Amino acid sequence: MPSTNKINFYKYQALLNDYILIEGKVDLSDEQIILMCSRREGIGADGILMVDSDNSMEIINSDASIAMMCGNGLRCVIFHLLRKESISTGEHVDIPTRSGLRGGMVLEATEKNAKVRGVLGQIVVGKTTTVNGRDFIFVNTGNPHCVHFTTENEDPLELCLNLGPVMEKSVEGGINVSFARITPDGIELYVWERGAGFTMACGTGAVATAYAASSISLITTKAVDVIQKGGRARVSIDEVATLEGLAHFVFEGSYHLQ
């Protein structure tokens, strides 16, 4: 589709992972995407979600790169479909993505807030690789992830901010990098996202980390809370992964392209 001078948009966030949601597919230049996502010059967001009439979801990172999948973005799209009365509370909806068919449902909702379960499909836990003396477990959640579980002497947030940018570029095409530690409450997690940098939460990162922890018996339950800066989400570890947590409608408006 040709570019337009004005775009109607909706702002959503899930665990403070925030998005600009646009109905339909709109042609945007890299410069326009970066400006829209800028927190000083534009609307401000971790990325853009484009939702077409078939409920398919296109995810564009704040640096204008394309993402294959997004767990928190998926949950925001499902809430948007409820708000637009395309689905009902408790009704499963399929969402086509670049990583294949995903989906989920709204469990309960008010006008602006919802508890949403996203269905992220089958998760593949891959090999463990040692990089600079630290073990990283590779996990495919529809997005590529690598996960490091910190020792008692390591600060996962500090490692994320310092090593995340380095690890992101260590794999061709980039990779999402998670730094986590097991706590009595669940898993404490910090993620450096490919194409977005450090974010307040990462849905596919939460799922990847839970499955990585289960694969090496750091956790033994079939569900675990993953706690990030933006809040807490529940990951169910089974043949098909689910991610359950809050999503919020923030505001809507019109944006004039530059």
Q: In this model, does residue 1 exceed pLDDT 90?
A: no
Same domain for 128 and 96: no
Give the pLDDT confidence of 115-138 residue by residue, as tens digits.
999 999 999 999 999 988 899 999
CB 214 within 8 A of CB 177: no
**Mean pLDDT value across residues 135-148:** 97
Is 83 among the domain residues?
yes
Residue 65 tokens, joined: 């790169």
Is 213 among the domain residues?
yes
Q: What pLDDT is recorded for position 131?
A: 87
Instruction: Considering the candidates 70, 76, 146, 160, report the single residue annotated as catalytic.
Output: 70
Is 1 among the domain residues?
no
Same domain for 142 and 224: yes
Same domain for 81 and 29: yes
Same domain for 132 and 115: no
Judge whether 160 counts as a catalytic residue: no
Instruction: Considering the candidates 37, 146, 160, 202, report the single residue annotated as catalytic.
Output: 202
* DSSP, residue by residue, 213-245: HHHTTS--SSEEEEEETTEEEEEE-SSSEEEEE
**Mean pLDDT value across residues 11-26:** 97
Closest CA to 205 of 220, 216, 194, 221: 194
User: Residue 142 is part of a domain; what is its CATH number?
Assistant: 3.10.310.10
Same domain for 189 and 129: yes
Give the pLDDT confidence of 213-230 residue by residue, as tens digits.
999 999 999 999 999 999
Same domain for 76 and 43: yes
Residue 43 Rama label (left phi>0; alpha psi -120 to 50; beta): alpha
Q: What pLDDT is recorded for position 132?
A: 82
Give the range of the structural domain holding residue 22, as residue numbers without chain letter: 6-120+245-256
Judge whether 70 counts as a catalytic residue: yes
